[in-house]
Amino acid sequence: MAKPGITTDEIDKVVYQEIVSRGAYPSPLNYCGFPKSLCSSINEIICHGIPDARPLQYGDVVSFDVSCFVGGVHGDNCGTVIVGDNGDDAKDNKFSEVVSADRIERSQLLVKAAREALAAGIEVCRPGACLTDVGAAIHQVCDRYGYDTVREYRGHGIASEFHCAPFVKHFRNNDKLKLQPGMIFTIEPMVTENKADNVLWEDGWTVATKDGGRAAQFEDTVLITDTGVEILTLPS
C-alpha cells in the first residue's frame, strides 16, 4: 500500500478496517490519547508518528508500527519500507530517475541494518540469558554499519497490558535481568543513520532525530520458551 501519492491517513483507515473485521481492536487507538490506529514514522521521524494527509513520496523511508488487541492480549510489531523501492539494485530501481542512486543505496542499507539489529536481538534470547545480551547484540550491529541506536524508547513487556515490564534497552547496558520461560516482550530497535539524539514534537507523540537524519525500525513480539524463543508476530 505504501506507494507514492497515498497518504498515511488512508493507510491508517485500511488498517483499522482490517483489524476490526477480524474481531480485534487497534491497540494504539485512543491509547493515552493517541488519535490513530497505527504509527507511521517517515524519514527523520523515529517513532510514534501520527498518520496524516501528507502524500508519500518516492524514496520516503517509512516505519509502520501496527498493534492489536484480541482474545484478551496485545500483539505489537513494526516494519520499515522505502516508498517505490522494488528491491533491485539502485541502478535498476524504477524510481532511480526521481531519487538518486546514492540515496536509494543509503536507504536500503539503513533498512537492512535495522532488520538485522532486530534479528540479532532475538537470536540471543533464551532462558538464562540477560536483557543486557539483547542490547549488546543490537548495538553491535549498529556499530558494524556505523549507525546509532535510540536510547530513550525501548521494548516492553506485553500481554493483557499494552506496555509493562520488562523494558528492553536496545543498546549496551548493565540490565542483568535473566530471561525466564513464559516472558513475553517486544524487541524494537530504532536505528538512525546519524546520531540518535532526538526531540519530541509539540503534539506530544512524534519523536524526530535532532539532526534530521533518517531512522528505520523493525519490531516483533517474542515469547521465551523452555528451550529458546518464539516469535509471536510472524505472518500467518
Sequence ranges of the binding site for substrate: 48, 163
The sheet with strand 220-224 has its strands ordered as 164-168, 155-157, 184-187, 220-224, 229-231
Q: Tell me whether the omega of the peptide bond preceding residue 55 falls within 30 degrees of 0, making it cis.
A: no
Annotated binding site: 48, 65, 76, 156, 163, 188, 219
33, with CB counted inside 10 A (0-12, 13-18, 19+), is exposed
Characterize the bridge pairing of strands 61-70 and 25-26. Answer: antiparallel
| Binding site members for a divalent metal cation | 65, 76, 156, 188, 219
**Alpha helical stretches, state H, 124-182:** 131-145
